[in-house]
Amino acid sequence: MTKGRKTRKGGSKAGEAKGPQRISIVLVEPKVAGNIGAVARAMLNFDIDDLVLVRPCERGQESFKRAMHADKVLELARVFDSLDEALKGYSYVVGTSDESTQIDRKHLRKAVTPKELMEHLKKVPGKVAILFGCEDFGLFNKELEKCDIFVSIPNSEKYPTMNLSHAVAIILYELFLNKAEVWKPTASSDFERSKLMELFKVYMEAIDFPSFKRRNAITMFKRIMGRADISKWEFYTLMGVFSRAVKKIERVQRAASREGKSRGKKEKG
């Protein structure tokens, strides 16, 4: 597997929403030891290390085997006998399920997407608990009643049930995006893009591109550059390609012109 993006160091800028102080993953009555380990591994992938277990099955070696290098997450997991006890101290509770509805009166299962959830969490300053139910039944209504918001992952109607660790990973991925430092190349300037357009016109002239097609070709090339948002490095590469092509065409044309003049003189002589 390749290494992922690094997160930013330091605090938020003035005026930025800080978001949650801490996020915990809460598994309610997980029944498969391997799933607990896989969840721990997914958590560590996205810099989350606080795992809470409510009436879990025996973890055993299978959990640690599936956790790989996230064994510390398992070792430090807090275990509770009741959900009420586990949720003490949290200012915001998120419920999850593969079942959602668009019927207004069924408000308990009125869901947001993981991406929409992250917009809500940006406004939450305290501790957040994200609840996941047991593998076969998920969260029951009595557990959803304790939640401030309900999230469901959009997926195929043909097979909507997801593996527990996969669901955790998708939600944490969206959360991670909000704090991930995404590298972007240096963008080309308006001046550089205009120079590239000029060279493209010279190139069409050099290859004797049909004049009645040039206007559309120029518009198409401009739109391609607009969609691509080319970087400075890409600009220099394209300039080099077009420049060399134009120069080579001009050399061939000059050579052909000299050869034609020489042949004409010989015929006259």
| CATH architecture for segment(s) 22-177 | 3-Layer(aba) Sandwich (3.40)
Number of Cβ within a 10 Å radius of residue 244: 10
pTM assigned to the model: 0.65
> Do the beta carbons of residue 48 and residue 172 sit within 8 Å?
yes
| Per-residue pLDDT reduced to its tens digit, 84-141 | 999 999 999 999 987 654 444 444 456 888 888 888 888 888 899 999 999 888 898 8
Q: Which residues pair with 23 in a beta bridge?
A: 128
> Do the beta carbons of residue 246 and residue 203 sit within 8 Å?
yes
Give the up-direction half-sphere exposure of residue 174: CA atoms within 13 A in the CB hemisphere.
19
Give dist(CA 151, CA 129) in Å, integer: 13
Residues in the chain: 269
CA-nearest of 32, 75, 84 to 54 is 84
What sign does the dihedral 220-224-226-231 (CA atoms) show?
negative
Amino acid (one-letter) located at 124: V
Give dist(CA 40, CA 37) in Å, integer: 5
Tokens of 65: 């085997």
| Per-residue pLDDT reduced to its tens digit, 237-247 | 999 999 999 99
Backbone torsion region of residue 55, taken as left when φ is above 0, otherwise alpha when ψ lies between -120 and 50, otherwise beta: left
Could you tell me the residue ranges of all domains in the chain? 22-177, 190-268
Locus of tokens 């004797």: 208
pLDDT of residue 72: 94
Give dist(CA 223, CA 157) in Å, integer: 37
Decide: helix, strand or coil at residue 23. Answer: strand
Torsion of CA 258, 259, 264, 265, to 10 degrees: 70
Query: Rg of the chain over CA atoms, in angstroms?
Result: 30
SS3 labels along 49-114: CEEEEECCCCCHHHHHHHHCCCHHHHHCCEEECCHHHHCCCCCEEEEECCCCCCCCCCHHHCCECH
pLDDT confidence tier of residue 225, bands split at 50, 70 and 90: confident
CB neighbour class for 151 (10 Å; exposed up to 12, middle 13-18, buried from 19): buried
The strand order across the sheet containing 92-96 reads 78-80, 50-54, 22-28, 127-132, 92-96, 149-151
Averaged pLDDT for residues 175-197:
82
Most confident of 158-162, 177-181, 208-212: 208-212
| Per-residue pLDDT reduced to its tens digit, 24-34 | 999 999 999 99
